[in-house]
Structure 1
Amino acid sequence: MADHDPRDLQRKLADVSKQPEPELRGTPITPDRYYAKEYMDQEWDKVWTRTWQIAGLSRELPNKGDYITTSLGPENILCTRGDDDTIRAFYNVCQHRGMQLMDKPSGNARRLTCPYHGWAYDMAGTLKFVPDEADYPQGSPCGKSNLVEIPCEEWAGFVWYNMDEDCASLKSFLGPIADQIDSYPMEDMVRTHWVTIEGDFNWKLVQDNFSESYHVPFVHPGAVYVLEYSHQHCQFDHYAEGHCRMFMPGAGPAKVIKGGEKQTLASMAEELALWELDPGDYTGGKIRNLRGDLQRQKRKLGEAKGFDFSTYHDDQLTDNWHYTIFPNLSFSLKPDGNIWLRARPHETDPEKCYFDMWYMTLFPKGATEYFSQTMREFISVDTPAQHVQGKAGEVSAGPAIDEDLAIWPLQQRGLHSRGYKRDYLAGQESRLRFFHETLEDWLAR
């Protein structure tokens, strides 16, 4: 069961206090961990089968009999909403002879019926029917050979599962960041963009990338006009549970940029129009006033435009709050949505992975439709986003993420070079080192 019902959630302002800096060991981040099969196998046994992962959205399972499936490495997981209205998670495998039970990504069924020999389970995983039930010399398997259930919880509008039956609760796993993320109405956000890309790179390169902002001016040169990336003007925090956060001021150029009014105003034109700000007020060196003015304008007009910003700090109205959740998840939170990023291990190849990008949009009250960049038309806010899948370079995850995707295969190849000795990290890359040392701790358990 979930630790709380989202409908009863009492939101409060997030804790923004700076966390103590951790003591880091500084052990080498060895290249082989990105390509060695032995390292991949250890990660599977010690990390992937013991950490909380997201199967999908709670809104994908609104009705009794609904189900979704999801993959992680060689496993496939089945989540159902039972007749008792409870969401459960199971290994998606029939107990008769190991056939994958449900082969569709989602659906609704009265029973979960194996396509091979017709064994049928109810939505709570109990075996209810087998053909020729009397033909089993060891007795009927009904009620005995049930699906193998694993821990499952709902939080922040997501369905989470864990393959470790002795795992800590999700709230304990997340620690203090759960309350911080709860300051956003996550369960009200709608998935409006859904891309899965098979890439020629190890999953850790994705998490490394989203654990630092050092690369921003080189990989994302356009972002410097709307986002602060410098470690001197951002806040970085580490948590004992292995998670991190980064506060990055927005709505203006990075402090190192001299000028930049034209680029900032062009990038933010749609947002300025929505919040009734005149771009002409921010020329002639006045661009540094924009962030504060936009915060005040959102406070002033938010309710009238259908938004509830009452549990946001002023900074949340303009800034990017970026969380990396161990081992493989990133939330990049904004006042009107969340860029949700995840890398999943490949089934067999440590030099491949699956990269998932969702955009979760918070629509104002009363909104009925929006323009889908994927479907290239206006659609209802209740229309599920089309799941776009393909290889890197064949499908797009959006301009900024595509810039990251272009880097990771090159880095994967470079890690094999005889000329690469070991990492040499800047202080601002401490969250990257913290991630690897957390991974090492899990592998040592």
Structure 2
Amino acid sequence: IRAFYNVCQHRGNRLVHEESGNGRNLACNYHGWKFKLDGELAFVPDHKNFLEGNPCGKLRLKELPCTVFAGFIWYSMDEDVMSLEEYLGPVYSQINTYDLSRMKRTHWVTIEGDFNWKIVQDNFNESYHLPFVHIGAHHVMEQSYKHCQMDIFEKEGHARMIMPGAKPTVGLRGDFDTTKELLKEEFEFWGLDPETFREDPQSMRKAMQKIKREQGAERGFDYSGMHDEQLTDHFHYTIFPNLSLSLKPDGCIFLKATPHPTDPSKCYFDTWFLMWFPDNATEYYAAAMEDMVDLDVKVPHIAGKVREVSCGPVIDDDVRVWSTQQTGLISKGYTGSYMADQEKRVQFFHEEVDRYIAKGEAKG
């Protein structure tokens, strides 16, 4: 895998206009210059007409550092960038246990948002908002920071939250029927009846860990490289500067905010759902999508403006708030943040942004 700037070395025309595809070369639709897939210029019309000689053999596409990790292609515009493993630090090995390269994308949405990209990262760096923004999921999405683990990787600039899953919220009293419905599909897939946990719903998590450990291999999942908490819990990583990965053993939500090229009050926000299909399975229940998904159906890329297209369950709740926060942040009435300790990952993120700017390392 190699990465190049998408620009012709003749007079700066954009080379590739399609989102995806394949071919034997990269051809410019302006003057017909063709580049090999290794970036070398292979053909130009009227090559004898150049006073400095045939440009073939002299010019090539400008290459970017890139690598493949966890099923994704990672690239940098910094020619002297450190290795990805060094940049991610301990996060590298932690993510690697999920074998994301085996997962298949089941949902792909890009919106143009009317909010700055850092608002997105702020949101995914705290869970303080959960009881008020994600009301429909409060039965099974842990509401209290006291029952979650929050970590900061100071050297690398990344952060993590671990939220217990496969059970009701600790502080929830009553209304087990709603909890049962929300967890029904996952539990029944593993041969567990949620009703049997009515008297002790907090024991659901351990029961799920046990059954996955015992039956994972025969059901098409290799959990041998994971510890028990990874079999049920949400491991949410915010990778500096603009990526979040919300990981469960059989799925991942990929969330990326890209700065708008000309307007700092806007950004592009990508949401992907990825699923780890059991071996030999063609369909599987995706909890993130609240529906069955088919492995053989090509996932369309849905793109549009904020509020015109859906980013998916739960994520739409977040998006609705970001727009109103953007208007508030530029108000004369807003004098600065006053944050709780559970929002320390937000503060750390902005300290990291400030550090990059102060050192002149913010290159876009």
Q: Does TM-score exceed 0.5, indicating one fold? A: yes
CA-CA distance at 1:382 after TM superposition: 4.6
CA-CA distance at 1:398 after TM superposition: 1.3
Residue matched to 2:64 = 150
Could you tell me which of 161, 170, 173 is aligned with 2:84? 170
Residue matched to 2:187 = 272
- Find the aligned partners of 2:187 and 2:94 in 1 and give their Cα distance: 27
- Find the aligned partners of 1:132 and 1:341 in 2 and give their Cα distance: 47
Establish whether residue 188 from structure 1 lines up as the match of residue 102 from structure 2. Answer: yes
1:387-406 correspondence runs (5 A) = 387-406=301-320
- Find the aligned partners of 1:310 and 1:247 in 2 and give their Cα distance: 20
Residue matched to 1:94 = 8
Residue matched to 1:351 = 265
Establish whether residue 263 from structure 1 lines up as the match of residue 178 from structure 2. Answer: yes
Q: Using a 3 Å threshold, how does the CA distance of structure 1 residues 331 and 418 change in structure 2: closer, same or farther? A: same
Residues 199 and 352 of structure 1 are in contact (CA less than 8 Å); yes or no, is this contact kept in structure 2?
yes
Could you tell me which of 327, 330, 334 is aligned with 1:413? 327
CA-CA distance at 1:224 after TM superposition: 2.2
Return 227-236 or 377-386, whichever deviates more.
377-386
Residues 275 and 286 of structure 2 are in contact (CA less than 8 Å); yes or no, is this contact kept in structure 1?
no
Establish whether residue 337 from structure 1 lines up as the match of residue 251 from structure 2. Answer: yes
Name the SS for the 1:153 alignment partner: strand
Letter in 1 for 2:310: S
Q: Using a 3 Å threshold, how does the CA distance of structure 1 residues 193 and 280 change in structure 2: closer, same or farther? A: same
Q: Using a 3 Å threshold, how does the CA distance of structure 1 residues 371 and 302 change in structure 2: closer, same or farther? A: closer
Return 222-231 or 154-163, whichever deviates more.
222-231
Residue matched to 1:252 = 167
- Find the aligned partners of 2:134 and 2:9 in 1 and give their Cα distance: 49
Moved >3 Å (runs of 4+) = 369-373, 377-380
Could you tell me which of 39, 46, 57 is aligned with 1:132? 46
Residue matched to 1:368 = 282
Residues 236 and 246 of structure 1 are in contact (CA less than 8 Å); yes or no, is this contact kept in structure 2?
yes
Letter in 1 for 2:244: S
- Find the aligned partners of 2:205 and 2:244 in 1 and give their Cα distance: 25
- Find the aligned partners of 1:249 and 1:378 in 2 and give their Cα distance: 24
Residues 253 and 260 of structure 1 are in contact (CA less than 8 Å); yes or no, is this contact kept in structure 2?
no
Name the SS for the 1:431 alignment partner: helix
Which TM-score applies when normalising by structure 1? 0.78
Residue matched to 1:288 = 202
Aligned length: 356
Residues 277 and 283 of structure 2 are in contact (CA less than 8 Å); yes or no, is this contact kept in structure 1?
no
Name the SS for the 1:232 alignment partner: helix
Residues 148 and 164 of structure 2 are in contact (CA less than 8 Å); yes or no, is this contact kept in structure 1?
yes
- Find the aligned partners of 1:183 and 1:369 in 2 and give their Cα distance: 23
Unaligned ranges ≥5, structure 2: 360-364
Provide, for residues 190-209 of structure 1, a one-character-per-residue CA deviation record: whole Å limited to 9, x for no partner. Answer: 01100001110000000000
Return 206-215 or 227-236, whichever deviates more.
227-236
Residue matched to 2:37 = 123
Q: Using a 3 Å threshold, how does the CA distance of structure 1 residues 267 and 311 change in structure 2: closer, same or farther? A: same
CA-CA distance at 1:293 after TM superposition: 1.0
Name the SS for the 1:195 alignment partner: strand
Provide, for residues 342-395 of structure 1, a one-character-per-residue CA deviation record: whole Å limited to 9, x for no partner. Answer: 10011100011100000110000011245899xxx9885254311011111111
Residues 191 and 384 of structure 1 are in contact (CA less than 8 Å); yes or no, is this contact kept in structure 2?
no
Letter in 1 for 2:194: P
Establish whether residue 444 from structure 1 lines up as the match of residue 358 from structure 2. Answer: yes
Residues 89 and 152 of structure 1 are in contact (CA less than 8 Å); yes or no, is this contact kept in structure 2?
yes
State the superposition RMSD in angstroms: 1.8
Letter in 1 for 2:16: M
Residue matched to 1:109 = 23
CA-CA distance at 1:300 after TM superposition: 1.9
Name the SS for the 2:86 alignment partner: helix
- Find the aligned partners of 1:121 and 1:370 in 2 and give their Cα distance: 42
Letter in 1 for 2:23: A
Quick one: percent identity of the two aligned structures?
Answer: 54
Residue matched to 1:60 = none
- Find the aligned partners of 2:302 and 2:126 in 1 and give their Cα distance: 27
Name the SS for the 2:339 alignment partner: coil
